[in-house]
Amino acid sequence: MALFTVALALAPVVCIAQTGEVAVSAPGREPPPVTPRVLLEFEPPTEIKARDLPNDDGTSILITWRRSPSMPEDVRYTVYFSDGAAGPYKPLPFDFRPIGLDESIMADNLQYFRYRRAYRDYQFIIIDLTAFDAVAAGTHERQAKYDWGQLYFKLGVTTDSAVRLFDPVLHAEPVTQWFDWSKFNNLLMATVFMVVILFFIETARRRKFYIRRIAGLDAVDEAIGRATEMGRPIFYLCGLDPMTTVSTIAATNLLGHVAKHVANYESQIKVPCFDPIVMSVCQETVREAYYEAGRPDAYNSDNVFFITNDQFSYVAAVNGMMVRERPAANFFFGFYYAESLLLGEVGQSTGAIQIAGTDSNVQIPFFITSCDYVLIGEELYAASAYISREPKLLGSVKASDMAKAVIIVVLLLGLVFSVALLIAALNDGGNALGWLGEKMEYFMQLFNEHI
């Protein structure tokens, strides 16, 4: 009874459909007097099946079918559900976007299917069963929770005014998986990369690695020396991202080296922070750097401070400090957003030497226009190794270069395969290379994000 109440409350118009192929009105519309001919004039899709969604936590099922070639373009696929095989079948009680004729083809989703050109004729819909619970919970009637084991589905096609449901009735039990095989390529790449890094770290202990000159980093010492001579502080900013991003980790890593130089020169470094966690990490980093430099007495934790977690008030405060304290050098490392130009321009107007480093593509141009030196993208990650020459960091830079070399080889292979496939496809747009072409396509699909 409660379930029935929930369904009534959520579906504006619930239209009862018998098992078999029938037409029902879409929710929110008056039932049409007759089923539109557009829904009856084409062959239904075939091989309609439901099964557990692979590689998930047991909360979703997958409905697949072979699309009908005769379907008109203004018709879209949809799914109806029932809490019993006999029906009645109702629209899903949550937002569900019907899918078009060419959407979500299997060939693009290797996490669910093996790659075959023939799979391009198949389509699928994933039903997230937790959405049923969320709907039930939203009614404040927890007892109305749906029994996933009793949910049945029917695939249908819809226009704006009507729905046609197809046989068979679909049912599948979701199964929890311990291992997500779709991420296996990530695991493999990460493992190989780790082994390569360890190898190069070990090698770096025995012999020196060459690292090309990075112009901005040569200026770090110069900037610190200038600050010491002028008796003015150095401002070091770690960006606006939290401690979980690579650029912030790189910025705090670099902070250690800069702070060590500052301690040696007996200069002063100020680190205004945007994130309280980053502030804590920065305090630890700077303190450790002062200890390593043998100047623990010179460390002042008040110089690494939190301002605010709001973007533009943070900028207003830092800009105000820049103008009042007139730092001799500003370091902007980490990830930045719209504030990059505001910081860079004010810093430049105070006459400070400025070095920036970020992997935020959109903000790099602003730093280029307002700073003396800019580390572009990955140069920020390599900066620590360049400054410290520590085997650990040098090894990881060398390993990342090896990874880039492998990527270039993969790209070149992809180019060769692409040229072959494009030439073969010149006549009919298909794959004239047969199984060999399919293997070439499969090779490229291996690097698809979805796998």
Tell me the closest approach of the beta carbon of residue 164 to other proteins, in angstroms. Answer: 30
Tell me the closest approach of the beta carbon of residue 419 to other proteins, in angstroms. Answer: 7
Tell me the closest approach of the beta carbon of residue 161 to other proteins, in angstroms. Answer: 31
Distance in angstroms (rounded) separating the CA atoms of residues 9 and 274: 46
Do the beta carbons of residue 135 and residue 13 sit within 8 Å?
no
User: Which is nearer to other proteins, 79 or 217 (by Cβ)?
Assistant: 217
Distance in angstroms (rounded) separating the CA atoms of residues 345 and 329: 13
Structure tokens at 113: 């299917």
Tell me the closest approach of the beta carbon of residue 17 to other proteins, in angstroms. Answer: 33
User: Which is nearer to other proteins, 218 or 310 (by Cβ)?
Assistant: 310
Contacts of 194 (CB under 8 A, 6+ apart): none
Query: Which of 161, 130, 141 has the alpha carbon at shortest distance from 36?
Result: 161
Tell me the closest approach of the beta carbon of residue 314 to other proteins, in angstroms. Answer: 8
User: Which is nearer to other proteins, 59 or 431 (by Cβ)?
Assistant: 431
Tell me the closest approach of the beta carbon of residue 278 to other proteins, in angstroms. Answer: 10
User: Which is nearer to other proteins, 225 or 242 (by Cβ)?
Assistant: 242
Look-up of token digits 């927890």: 142
Output phi, psi for 89, to 5 deg: -95, 130
Structure tokens at 54: 């692979």
Structure tokens at 120: 């391009």
User: Which is nearer to other proteins, 107 or 169 (by Cβ)?
Assistant: 107
The burial of 153, by beta-carbon neighbours within 10 Å (0-12 exposed, 13-18 middle, 19 or more buried), is given as: buried
User: Which is nearer to other proteins, 12 or 296 (by Cβ)?
Assistant: 296
77 DSSP β-pair partners: 99, 157
DSSP run (H or E) holding 436: helix 434-445
